[in-house]
Amino acid sequence: MGTEIRTFYSLKEMNDNLVEQVGQYKALAEDYSQWLGSFLRSCEDNHKDEDWFQKSVGLQKKLPAQGKKMETGQPARSGKGKGKRAESSCWIQSAGILICSSEQGEAEILFEAIESINEKIRGLEKFRAAIQQLERSGLGKNVNYIVYFKDDVPQKIVLCAKRDMQVTDNFRFSADITVPGVYQ
């Protein structure tokens, strides 16, 4: 989703949601890591002496398994640069996007995706630890939690006292929607 605001009605509901998100991201990181491993093995015969391939193999060995913490100071990408990533020479800028037709480019986007996913996992786990601390401090059950998510990672919480407990606990909305002409 990217950026959104969601309301949770308990810390348990929020924690369960975060556990589910972490699990999904870990599975995705594992899938991409396996794809990367297979890809690098298939490229070995043709590119084993090339600099980008050697760097990729070295970085792939240092990738965290299923979202564990990365070694500090060691980015999981094959590009060089400080701050914003400097793109390798295999990329061509066209109409505001970068295009590449080499195997090096495929390896780079896999590393970049895995790095981004692992960063999200770390952010979610950090936020989860924070809400567990809130739970231990005895934050009340009469509170709703409005959470601001940026890039799928929670950033801020607004605490709102539950207004009319009787109304919120008893009110339910149910509807059936029929769209004519969809099933023909």
Q: Specify if 110 maps to a domain.
A: yes
Q: What is the pLDDT of residues 98-112, one digit of tens each?
A: 888 878 888 889 989
pLDDT at 132: 87
Is the pLDDT score of 140 beyond 70?
no
Which of 74-88, 93-107, 111-125 has the highest mean predicted lDDT (pLDDT)? 111-125
Percentage of the chain lying above the pLDDT 90 cut: 34
Instruction: Return all residues near 82 (Cβ < 8 A) that are at least 6 apart.
Output: none
pLDDT at 118: 94
The number of folded domains in the chain is 1
Q: Specify if 153 maps to a domain.
A: yes
Nearest-5° Cα angle at 7, 137 to 179: 155
Q: Specify if 71 maps to a domain.
A: no
Q: Specify if 73 maps to a domain.
A: no
pLDDT at 57: 63
162, 144 in Cβ contact below 8 A? Answer: yes
Q: Specify if 146 maps to a domain.
A: yes
**Mean pLDDT over each residue of the chain, to the nearest integer:** 76
Q: Which domain holds residue 47?
A: 4-65+80-170
Q: Specify if 140 maps to a domain.
A: yes
Q: Specify if 179 maps to a domain.
A: no
Q: Specify if 163 maps to a domain.
A: yes
